[in-house]
Amino acid sequence: MQVLDRVKINQEISDLKKTYGDDRSALLPILQELQEKYGYLPNLVMQETAHALGIHPVEVESVASFYSFFRRKEKQGKYVLRLCQTISCDLSGKAKVARQLENELGIKFGETTKDGMFTLEYTNCLGMCDQGPALLINDRLFARVTPEKVPQIIADCRRDFIKSEFPKVVPSDVRKSGPILSHDLKPGEGLKAALKNTRSGVIGLIRESGLKGRGGAGFPTAVKWQLAGAAQSAKKFVVCNADEGEPGTFKDRYLLFNHTEMIFDGMTIAAYAIGADKGFVYLRGEYLYLKKHLQEILEKRRQNNLLGENILGKEGFNFDIEIRMGSGAYVCGEETALIESLEGYRGEPRNRPPFPVDTGFQNHPTIVNNVETFLDAALICVKGAKWFNEHGTEKSSGTKLFSVSGDCEKPGIYELPFGITIEQLLKEVKGENAKAVQIGGASGRCVARKDFNRTIAFEDISSGGSIIVFGPQVDMLEVAINFMEFFVEESCGQCTPCREGNVKLLEGLKLLEEGRCSASYLNELMRLAETIQLASKCGLGQSSPNAFVSIIENFKSEILGRVPEKA
Ligand code: SF4
């Protein structure tokens, strides 16, 4: 049993406060570091953290219980093995790998081995959908894991070889580059071009380009920047949403490692445009292995005066960026939940209005943009609005990065113009045989063959970039169950339609699986789905039944006509 030393814990907290500050927003990073040290969050550690930050211990307990990466009771193993349970990894053989892991370690998922070496857990999307099944061991990723590879991986952990022998970053398959991915800009070039312009000139250029947020919602970037720029406040913030958690999406992981400088250029340009002096990258906990790389690039930029004070000689233009880690909560991809998390609270979405451009981080005007949006903005500042919007459609300008996984011959990252039809996309990825495609991840919609002439664009089917291809053999009911399990797990629980409604939809799908759901009950569930879409507070709840509805609509006869296994 671990003996805890109150004096030592207090010293550690006081050291961490020097790095993260002493206000509430330091809570998550301090807890993350202390968990790393102690293997879990003992009560004494949480109590002392609460005292040190001047908050009630119950508040700390409440925050720790919200995020799936925090462990409050059982000490986790020296190696925490997190196997991805998202649909793409399911399709590539996750179940067999799971059984092999359990056999090899002699424990079930959710347990820790008696020797304290291994903890086995499921996790949602690891951003390796094109190379599944994916396994995260502490901060190290393993792609294309097979049952045969499991014994060797475990043996390497036991010998502590894992630290030296495996690369942390698994290379991505970029199958098609376009104007964005094949840019030839040097670090700072986007920022230098922007600084030759006025602040309003930069926003004007972004408006002219037609750039819309690449996270999926498609809000015009220039409008967001304009509103935050016009807001009166002594402090403003720029936040890069790198909480890429939508099942089936992995292009931000690639961008964060390979186009880091341009993403930071984009953030710094945004800061210049709105008058911010502080930025955050909110990086999902599953991408911890990218943190060191990002910090190294930030340090280089400070040395080159691309960050810091009077940036590139521009008197009074001061800006710096800090990396903050998520802790395993999909809902934090929603911008107000992300801000709550940054402030040290449970990642529960806020009521809107007020919007973050007025009342964001610590009640100051804040813009939150996706990784890809910042990259695009930096390139537009050098290459111009026309260069950008000569691709795409009138309402969806530019090219878009897609993460393609599932039943196709060429999964990977594709840069394609908005307005491409699903049929054209399937030809590119060699998935013409598909019976359905999930566009936009779990919160997107499932499109069947008859609609493959539809286009991917904000005015037709919008997408943050996740494309999952389902071949003729895929059981669509199992797909729907996988997505609903995801939402039941990830709902923050704040509002009833999302918290309770999704559980009911999942129960209905299980009844269908057992052949015990009548057509009339299914109709009732469809009405419930509509209520969830209309009455939920945030985008997560509003979009959570999308997959359910579109799968039932498109595959009703397949689903109702199936013979239950035990019948
Ligand atoms: Fe939370 Fe769901 Fe309500 Fe959003 S819709 S606030 S995720 S319970």
Q: Ligand 1 — pocket residues by CB below 6 A?
A: 331, 349, 491-495, 498-499, 536-538, 540-541
Q: What is the pLDDT of residues 507-524, one digit of tens each?
A: 999 999 988 888 888 999
- Overall average pLDDT of the 265-292 stretch: 96
Q: Whose CA is nearest to atom 4 of ligand 1?
A: 538
- From 330, 338, 531, 540, the mutation candidate for ligand 1 (largest count of ligand atoms within 8 A of CB) is 540
Q: Is the pLDDT reported for residue 565 higher than 60? A: no
What CA–CA distance (Å, rounded) separates 281 from 275?
18
Looking at the chain, how many residues does it have? 567
Report pLDDT digits (tens) over 15-48. 999 999 999 999 999 999 999 999 899 999 999 9
Instruction: Determine the pLDDT at residue 166.
Output: 58
Nearest-atom index, ligand 1, CA of 498: 2
Asked if pLDDT for residue 564 goes beyond 80, the answer is no
Q: What is the pLDDT of residue 567?
A: 41
pLDDT at 74: 72
H-assigned helices in 39-171: 43-53, 57-66, 87-91, 94-105, 150-158, 162-165
Contact 282, 300 (CB under 8 A): no
**Span 121-170, pLDDT tens digits:** 999 888 889 899 999 998 788 999 999 999 999 998 988 766 655 566 67
Atom of ligand 1 nearest to the CA of 349: 6
Determine the longest span between alpha carbons in the chain, in angstroms: 76
How far apart are alpha carbons 564 and 546 in whole angstroms? 25
Q: For tokens 């499109």, what's the residue?
A: 447
- Please determine, for residue 431, whether its predicted confidence score (pLDDT) is greater than 90: yes
d(CA 469, CA 439): 9
pLDDT grade for 1, boundaries at 50, 70 and 90: low
Q: In whole angstroms, what is the distance from residue 148 CA to residue 498 CA?
A: 40
Range 445-467 average pLDDT: 95
CA of 542 to the centre of ligand 1 (A): 8
> Which parts of 307-421 fold into alpha helices (H)?
335-342, 371-383, 385-389
3-class state of residue 267 by DSSP: helix
| C-alpha R_g of the chain | 23
One-letter amino acid of 479: V
Q: What is the DSSP string of 38-65?
A: HSS--HHHHHHHHHHHT--HHHHHHHHH
Residue 315 — φ and ψ, nearest 5°? Answer: -55, 125
Dihedral-angle region of residue 138 (phi above 0 means left; psi in -120 to 50 means alpha; beta otherwise): left
Res 140: pLDDT: 84
Tell whether the model's pLDDT for residue 449 goes beyond 90.
Answer: yes
Q: Which of 348, 488, 489, 538 to mutate to test the pocket of ligand 1 (most atoms within 8 A of CB)?
A: 538
Helices 251-258/371-383 angle, 10° precision:
50
Residue 252 CA to ligand 1 center (angstroms) comes to 24
Closest alpha carbon to 293 in 139, 456, 70, 404:
139
pLDDT for 566 beyond 60: no
pLDDT in tens, 193-244: 999 999 999 999 999 999 999 988 889 999 999 999 999 999 999 999 999 9
Collapsing DSSP states into helix, strand and coil, what is residue 298?
helix
Q: Mean pLDDT throughout 246-274?
A: 96
Contact 214, 372 (CB under 8 A): yes
pLDDT band at 112 (very low <50, low <70, confident <90, very high): very high
Region 91-97 average pLDDT: 93
Which residue's CA lies nearest to atom 1 of ligand 1? 492
Q: What is the pLDDT of residue 203?
A: 98
Q: What percent of the chain has pLDDT over 90?
A: 85
Q: What is the mean pLDDT of residues 394-398?
A: 95
What tens digit of pLDDT does each residue of 296-325 get? 999 999 999 999 999 999 999 999 999 999
Per-residue pLDDT, 170:
74
Strands 237-242, 366-370: pairing kind: parallel
The pTM of the whole model exceeds 0.85:
yes
- Ligand 1 centroid, distance to 289 Cα (angstroms): 29
- When pLDDT is averaged across residues 75-98 and rounded to a whole number, the result is 91
Cα(475) to ligand 1 centroid in Å equals: 28
- Per-residue model confidence (pLDDT) at position 146: 96
Can you say how many angstroms the Cα of residue 324 is from the centroid of all Cα atoms in its chain?
14
Mean residue pLDDT across the chain: 94
Question: How large is the average pLDDT for residues 57-69?
Answer: 96
Q: Which residues contact 231 (CB under 8 A, 6 or more apart)?
A: 357, 358, 365
Predicted local distance difference test score (pLDDT) of residue 546: 96
Q: Give the per-residue pLDDT at 73.
A: 79
Q: Rounded to an integer, what distance in angstroms lies between the CA atom of residue 211 and that of residue 412?
A: 24
Q: Count Cβ atoms below 10 Å from residue 473 Cβ, excluding itself.
A: 9
Contacts of 423 (CB under 8 A, 6+ apart): 452, 453
Please state the rounded mean pLDDT for residues 453-482.
95
The alpha carbon of 503 and the centre of ligand 1 are apart by a number of angstroms equal to 13
Q: For the ranges 157-171, 340-354, 412-426, which has the lowest average pLDDT?
A: 157-171
